[in-house]
Amino acid sequence: MPELTEEDIKNMSPEQIAELQKQNCLFCNLASGKLPSKSIYEDDLCFAVIDINPATKGHVLLMPKDHYMIMPQAHEEVIKRLGKVSKLMSKAMIKAAGATGTNIFVANGAVAGQRAPHLIVHIIPRIENDGIDVFELPEKEARQEDLTNMQKLIASKLGTRIVNQEISKKESNELEEVDLKQVENMLK
């Protein structure tokens, strides 16, 4: 295939760009069998392989067969299946591989630690003192006002109401005008 220029890509339709991404995606090529893998599960929507760069022995990568870069792009049925299969994998790791626990996570975007442009559910078997600190999250003390503002903002975007603190229409409209820099600062 000839080298594509920036001009070629600019002139592509969204469907053509999606197809190009899929053709160049390592994980789509694993799903289609174009590349070899240590496959351990496959159905009509997803597949799982043993990670070749595992955090621990038995680290599994569970992925949709269709190309989605991040979880919010995936169809609901795919997300449901990934959840169901993650549960089965975790249970199998605990029963068969001697794990005493598992970490199950998805990194959405580079800032969250995503290294590959394909939705991946990591299922990592864990044992006591395995030396892995998967989630070494800093504990920060938040002001009550910041917690309440974040609670209202997220609930309004979800279209849900807050238990014992229903958001009025007026408050909801005010939340739409919240300065995004203020929200970013709350998350730091």
pLDDT by residue (tens digit) across 149-172? 877 777 777 777 665 444 444 444
Tell me how far apart the terminal alpha carbons of the chain are, to the nearest angstrom: 45
Q: Which of 3-17, 38-52, 69-83, 170-184 reaches the highest mean pLDDT?
A: 69-83
Domains of the chain: 11-126 (3.30.428.10), 144-187 (no CATH)
Q: Helices 144-158 and 180-187: crossing angle, nearest 10°?
A: 120
Confidence of residue 176 (pLDDT cuts 50, 70, 90): very low
Q: Coil, strand, or helix at residue 153?
A: helix
Check residue 78 and give its pLDDT. 97
pLDDT band for position 137 (cuts 50, 70, 90): low
Higher-confidence position of 128 and 2? 128
Task: Calculate the CA 173 to chain-centre distance.
Answer: 30
Band of pLDDT at residue 85, cut at 50, 70 and 90: very high
The better pLDDT of the pair 119, 143 is held by 119
pTM over 0.85: no
